[in-house]
Amino acid sequence: MKFNNSGCLTGFVAGLSRIFLVFVWIARPANFTPVFGSWIVPCLGFLFLPFTTLMYIILYTPGVGLTGLDWVWLILAVVLDVGHVGFTAATNRDKIPQGVPGALPPEPPASTPPAAPTA
């Protein structure tokens, strides 16, 4: 069994976009009101697509919305968020108990060498 010895660094990097999103929300709460209108959508974005939410807030222009290359950056953010979730699921697939849907198939038993002939 392989162990990940990276410590808290992995958790910090994984939560980096959420940390930046919270900092932006605290530092510039006025940017969230014209973009979303309520607090529910940013909270859902924080939970499910944090990097996409952060990019949308950075790219959004009040009165105009997203234009041109802004959509490319936003689609890239969605791909990164969804890819992160998919990669995490694929990495942790071997940790799912047997019998649960999505678990890896059981490993076949190790073959035993043939018995030595007796004379």
Extract the tokens encoding 50: 């944090």
Condensed to tens digits (0 to 9), the pLDDT of residues 62-80 reads: 889 899 999 999 999 999 8
How much is the pLDDT for 78? 93
How much is the pLDDT for 32? 82
Condensed to tens digits (0 to 9), the pLDDT of residues 31-55 reads: 888 888 888 988 898 889 999 999 9
List, in sequence order, every residue forming a beta bridge with 61; answer none if it has no partner.
65
| Every domain of the chain and the residues it spans | 8-93
How much is the pLDDT for 5? 61
Please report, as a single letter, which amino acid is at residue 12: F
pLDDT band at 87 (very low <50, low <70, confident <90, very high): confident
* b (16+ CB within 10 A) / e for 50-88: bbbbbbbbebbeeeeeeeeebeebbeebeeebeeeeeee
